Chains A and B, each alone.
Chain A
Amino acid sequence: MADSAAADDLEDFRRDARAWLENSCPPEMRTPMRSEKDICWGGRKFTFASDAQKQWLEVMAGRGWTVPDWPAEYGGGGLSPAETKVLRQEMAALGCRVPLQSFGISMLGPALLKYGTEEQKQEHLPKIVRGEIRWCQGYSEPNAGSDLASLATSAEDKGDHYLVNGQKVWTSYADEADWIFCLTRTDASQKQGGITFLLFDMESQGVSTRPIRLISGASPFCETFFDDVKVPKDQVLGEVNDGWSVAKYLLGHEREMISGMGGRSQGPSLSDFALGKLGADEQGRLDDPVLRARIAMHEVRSHAFAAMSERFMDQLKAGKIHPAQPSMMKYYGTELNKDRHELLMAAGGSDALEWESEGSGEGKAARAWLRTKANSIEGGTSEIQLNIIAKRILELPEG
C-alpha cells in the first residue's frame, strides 16, 4: 500500500511539474541549444544571450529547480531522488533547456554539502542555486597534472589568514569566474596530507589570469597566478591539511559530469547527420556501407552507455555505488564522445574541415572534434581512470 501511495504522489508531482513547466518555460528555452554560447553559466560577469534565458533562470531558481535535489534550506528544490528524476524526464519531454550550468552545481556544491560549515553552506549554496556566483576550479599546476597531489601553490599561515602564492593551469573559465576553489600546499613535508582546500574571491588583490589558446582556437582555459593573495581562515573547506579528501570527493562529481557528455542527448543524431551528408541507397541504408557499420557499432555502445548512465544515477541516489565507479563512467563516456566526433568528421568529409567559412559555422564541426580530445585528459586522464579502476575496484596490486 505504501508503495502505491508513493507512486500516486509521484504521478501527482509529475502532473504538477509538467503543468508548471509548460506555463513557466519561455518558448525560446524549449528549443535545442545551437552552440555553447547558449549555455547559461550565471555569475557577476555573465551576459545573458536573451531575455528568455534570464527569465528561465529566474523562475527555475525561484523554485530551487536549478538544483532540484539540494536541500530547500540552502535554496535548492528539496526534491527526492525519484522526484528529481521525474522533473528531468519532464524537462526532457518538453525540450526545456538546462536553466543553469556551473561548476558550483556539479562540483563545489556537493563538497560544500559534505564538508562545509553551516556558515559556508548558508553563504555559498544559495548564490550557486541562483546563478549569482560563478566558480572555477584551481587544481592542476604546470608540474602537477596526472600527479595532482604533487602541487606546489603555497598557502602560508599568517595568523588570521593564509598568504597564497603560486600558479594554476587549465583553470576552466578563470577569466569569467567570480570565485575559485583551490588546492594549496600548507605542509611541504607531506604529499597528500599537506594539502588544504581554500575558497576565495577572484577579485582578491594578487589574482591574475591569462587565457590559453587551444588547438580548437578557443580559450576556455586559463593560467591563473597568485601573488601574495590574502585568504581569511574561515574560507578553508574541510580540515587544514585534509584538502585531498575534499579534492577527491569533488573529482568524483566532476567525473560524473564529464562522463555525462557521452550521453545520447548531446547534439544531433549521428545517423541523421550522416544521412544528410551522404544520402541513402535504394533500401534506405546510409550510402556508405563501411561508415554505416562503424556508426551502427558506435550506436550500440551509445545506447548501452545511456542505460549505464541511468543505472549509475539510480545506484548513486540509492547509495549503492562503488566509490571508484565514477572513474569507469568518466573513462567510458569520454572515449565514446571522442569516437562520436571522429565519426561526425568522417561523415562531414571535407565540409567538416573548413575552419572559418560561414557555411561551416566558423568551423563548428572541426573545433568541436578537437575540443573532445580534452575530454579524456581533463578531470584525470583515461589512463589515470584505468589505474583507479584497476587498484580500487579490481584490487590489483601496486606496481
Chain B
Amino acid sequence: MPLFHDEDQETLADTVAPFMADRAPVSHLRKLRDADDPAGFSRDLWREFGEMGFTGVLVDETDGGLGMGHVEAGIVLEEIGRNLTPSPFIGTAVGAVEALRLADPALKEAWLPGIVSGETVAALALDEAARHRPQRVALKAERQGNGFRLTGAKQFVPFGHEADLLLVSARTAGGPCDEDGVTLFALPRSHPGITAQAERLADSSLAARIDLDGVDVDGSMVIGDIDDGRAVLNRVLSAVRTGASAEMVGVAGGASTMTLDYIKQRKQFGRIIGSYQALQHRAAHLYAEMEVARAATLKAQQSLDAGSESATRDASVAKAMAGMASGLAVREAVQMHGGIGMTDEYDVGFFMKRQRVLAELYGDADFHADRLARMEGY
C-alpha cells in the first residue's frame, strides 16, 4: 500500500477538515475553558461526531460503524489536533473500540451502539504514577466467587470523570512489576465503589484520578484472557499511541500555519521578519521534522490496519517522532511570535499546552525511544 492517502481517505479529510474548523475551532476550546465547563468537552458536539460517523470510524460495519481503519481515525484526530478540539475521541473511538474488538459479543452489544451514536464516552484508566509505565500495575483484582473485587487507584485518565465506560488494567496475579498477571476490565463508571476526581490540566482539559474501593465485578466484564491482558493492552496502547501521534501532527500543523502566517506579515527593521534567514532556516528545519513525523505516523496507522508484526514498534517510533517534532513546532511557534505569543489572548499558547499533554499521554519520546531500544535488543 503506498504511503499516502488514497482517494477515499482524501475525500474523508475534505469532509472532516471543514466540519472541525466550523464546529469546533480554537474559540470553542476557549469558551469551554472560560466557562470552567465541568465536563471539559461538549456532549452536543460528541453527538454530532456520532451523526457524522466519526465515533464509529473503527467499529465494524456489522456493529453499526464505518468499518474503517486507523488511517481514517488518524484523519479525524489530525483535525481534532489542528483545531484543539476537546474531545474524548482517542479514549473512546480508538482505545475502547480497539479493546472491545477482542471482547465477548455481550460486551460489544452493551457498549458499541452508544459509542457509534455519540451517546457514550469511554476512558482508559491505565496509569498509576506520574510517568507512563503501563506494565506496572498495582491495582488489585482479587477473585470473589465468579467475579473479582477491584481495589486501587489510577491517574491521568482523560475525561474519566465524564466517562460512562472505564477500561481498567488490574493485577490478577504476580507482583506489581511483573509483565504477566494483568487483566483488562470494562466497567461502567456508575458501578458502586468507583469515585472519579477531575483534575484540570495545563491545557485546561480534564483528566481524572480514579479510586476503586472494593469494586465488585463479574467475569463478563473481562476483556481478553484473565492474567494475560497484556496482549489486548498492547494492542490498545499501540492504537492510542498512534492516535495521539496523529493528533500531535495536527497540533503541529495548526501551530506552524499560524506561525508562518505571522512571520509573513510581521515587520521589524522595515522588513517582513519571515525574510530573515535566521527564521527561514528554523522554519524549514521544522518543516522537515514535521514531514518525517507525518510519514512515521502514517506508517504506524497502516501497520495497525494491516495487522503487521511491526505495528508495536511503528507505534513507538511514531509517538516518539511526533512528540519531538510537535514539541519543536509549538516552541518555535511561541518564540517566533515573540511577546504576543506569551499572551493568553492570543491562541498560539493553547497549542503549546495541548502538545505538552499529548506528548506525555501514553508515553513520551524518552519512554518510546527506550522501548524501541529494548525491542531491538540493546
- Chain A residues in contact with chain B, CB under 8 A? 269, 271-272, 274-275, 280, 284-286, 292-293, 295-297, 299-301, 303-305, 307-308, 310-312, 314-315, 317-318, 320, 328, 331-332, 383, 385-387, 389-391, 393-399
Contacting residues, chain A, for B285 (C-beta < 8 A)? 331, 386
Total A-B pairs in contact (CB under 8 Å)? 144
Check A328 against B376 for contact (C-beta < 8 Å).
no
Check B281 against A310 for contact (C-beta < 8 Å).
no
Contacting residues, chain B, for A280 (C-beta < 8 A)? 378
Contacting residues, chain A, for B368 (C-beta < 8 A)? 300
Check A307 against B298 for contact (C-beta < 8 Å).
yes
B interface SS class: helix
Contacting residues, chain B, for A308 (C-beta < 8 A)? 291-292, 295-296
Check B292 against A296 for contact (C-beta < 8 Å).
no
CB < 8 Å neighbour of B376 from A271, A385, A398: A271
Check B292 against A396 for contact (C-beta < 8 Å).
no
Check B275 against A399 for contact (C-beta < 8 Å).
yes
Check A394 against B378 for contact (C-beta < 8 Å).
no
Please list 29 pairs of residues, one from A and one from B, whose beta carbons are closer than 8 Å in the complex, sorted by A's number: A269-B376, A271-B376, A280-B378, A284-B378, A285-B373, A293-B366, A293-B370, A295-B373, A297-B369, A299-B369, A301-B292, A303-B314, A303-B317, A305-B295, A307-B314, A311-B4, A314-B2, A314-B3, A314-B4, A331-B284, A332-B292, A387-B280, A389-B284, A390-B283, A394-B283, A395-B264, A396-B274, A398-B275, A399-B271
A393 to B286: give the CA distance in the assembly, Å: 12
The 4 closest A-B pairs by CB, nearest first: A390-B280, A304-B296, A389-B284, A311-B3
CB < 8 Å neighbour of B275 from A269, A275, A396: A396
CB < 8 Å neighbour of A389 from B4, B287, B321, B378: B287
Contacting residues, chain B, for A295 (C-beta < 8 A)? 373, 378
A385 to B280: give the CA distance in the assembly, Å: 11
Check B284 against A390 for contact (C-beta < 8 Å).
yes
Given A292-B373, A331-B285, A391-B280, 15 other A-B residues pairs in contact with their CB atoms under 8 A: A285-B374, A293-B370, A296-B370, A296-B373, A303-B372, A304-B296, A307-B295, A308-B292, A311-B295, A314-B2, A315-B2, A315-B4, A386-B281, A399-B271, A399-B277
Of chain A, the residue at the smallest CB distance from B313 is A303
Interface size on B, residues (CB 8 A): 45
Q: Which of A285, A295, A303, A312 has the most C-beta atoms of chain B within 10 angstroms of its own C-beta?
A: A303
Q: A320 CB to closest chain B CB, in angstroms?
A: 6
A109 to B283: give the CA distance in the assembly, Å: 33
Contacting residues, chain B, for A304 (C-beta < 8 A)? 292-293, 295-296, 317-318, 321
Check B274 against A300 for contact (C-beta < 8 Å).
no
A65 to B288: give the CA distance in the assembly, Å: 33
Of chain B, the residue at the smallest CB distance from A302 is B317
Q: B18 CB to closest chain A CB, in angstroms?
A: 22
Check B321 against A300 for contact (C-beta < 8 Å).
yes
A389 to B350: give the CA distance in the assembly, Å: 27
Q: Does B334 contact A (CB under 8 A)?
A: no
Of chain B, the residue at the smallest CB distance from A325 is B291
